[in-house]
Structure 1
């Protein structure tokens, strides 16, 4: 078994929860230096956030060219020895086979893939078909995290329970298509038990860098793994602003 293959298996194993209150916590580095800091802190794996990488490269979220995103992921992977999953947004319009190969070239062992584009939810059936193509191309070489955007793309007056039910329907289609994990981003804490009861397999939940609620609490509510989006990068930027202001 090659080094990348062994890292994929390690990453998969990390999603097998030892206890409900012990979810996998994946910090989100945006460059090689922040990745090393996270590993030095003791985290067993990392998950890059596209918004944070975009900020580090000087782009708005969603505007990073594919070549630059893949290059940034490759630099992060080279800097550490732990498994790295990459947020590659909606796949940049790249055909599934090529997308998988480009990801593997970076050394990443997993990916996030969104089910909305231009602020609009994709047809769940068509997206599931596309995820199935990604899975066929990747076989067991990548851990696929299917992001579900029903909470962040729903109209402001949408009942969270309704958004949760839609998320459960989409999750079933994506898991059937081969997704290893689903990520109902933006789900309110109080609907996590409903999501857990209706979704088969691992669930990714968005945490906060303030630790409120704690990772333990989120795990007890149903989270298999916790990521933070661009939270670490934005908190670091705030700290840097304070340091820079003090130098004047």
Structure 2
């Protein structure tokens, strides 16, 4: 598939009440394995990618994130959505440039957050600015001449600002601005997920995090979700195995190395020559 075909296929997957799971690889190898397992689409993860560089989340540049996303998109035949953080700047022009450059790759879509990157005020408080950034991203996508699925993220719940009505209002404003998919990561429970899905006019992506991890795909289908992502969950689990290294160093033991071999054997057949 070419870029437009991948974007069209990705767009078609988004059906309220029929959610698909979109796992988040952290490099080309994990992307190919997940594709081999049968997933229909993939998404990059900012925290997972940052770990591959030995950095904390939000520790990568626009150029690095776009290069990483393009490399994963080129490694597989299925659609790939890019975690583009806050567009790498707070001005609408920053979001526009990030989306324009993403549209020049094989990526099928990408997300823009309303986060600031600042610890004291982590989410953009100015509603007009938050919406203007999505409008600029949409305009950049439209000028590119190709299809590209734009996801707009309202980050408040991740930072403890848990006013559900305000989050839903912002998501609806993003929808009016032209976003294709709406995303409020960090929702505390299924009631909140259900309220978001019922309260907005575009397909909703739900992050499987915290208490939401105890629910099934069928539960999210009944709530009205269209897409289910796990963020850096797989990457954190994979890198968590490095905890075995501390036991080698401090206790001189190696028995913990067998803990994840069975899982590795399941994906080994999808390694390419």
What TM-score, normalized to structure 1? 0.88
In 2: Cα distance, 1:46 partner to 1:225 partner = 11
Query: Where does residue 241 of structure 2 map in the other structure?
Result: 239
Note the alpha carbon deviations across 1:179-221, whole angstroms, 9 max, x for none.
1111111012221222222111111111159952222212222
Query: Where does residue 110 of structure 2 map in the other structure?
Result: 111
Q: Where in structure 2 are there 5+ consecutive unaligned residues? A: 249-253, 258-273
In 1: Cα distance, 2:213 partner to 2:165 partner = 27
Query: Where does residue 152 of structure 1 map in the other structure?
Result: 158
In 1: Cα distance, 2:86 partner to 2:242 partner = 31
Query: Where does residue 37 of structure 2 map in the other structure?
Result: 41
Matches within 5 A, 1:130-169: 130-139=133-142, 141-155=147-161, 160=162, 163-169=163-169
Root mean square deviation of aligned Cα = 2.2
8 Å contact from structure 1 (residues 30, 233) kept in 2: yes
Secondary structure at the residue paired with 1:91?
coil
Structure with max Cα Rg? 2
8 Å contact from structure 1 (residues 125, 173) kept in 2: no
| Runs of 4+ residues deviating >6 angstroms | none
8 Å contact from structure 1 (residues 47, 84) kept in 2: yes
Note the alpha carbon deviations across 1:45-90, whole angstroms, 9 max, x for none.
1011111111112211011122111111121111101110000101
Secondary structure at the residue paired with 1:135?
helix
8 Å contact from structure 1 (residues 152, 185) kept in 2: yes
In 2: Cα distance, 1:167 partner to 1:101 partner = 27
Matches within 5 A, 1:36-75: 36-75=32-71
Q: Where in structure 1 are there 5+ consecutive unaligned residues? A: none
8 Å contact from structure 2 (residues 134, 174) kept in 1: yes
CA-CA distance at 1:106 after TM superposition = 3.0
Secondary structure at the residue paired with 2:152?
strand
Paired positions, count: 238
Q: 2:231 aligns with which of 207, 229, 232?
A: 229
Query: Where does residue 7 of structure 1 map in the other structure?
Result: 6
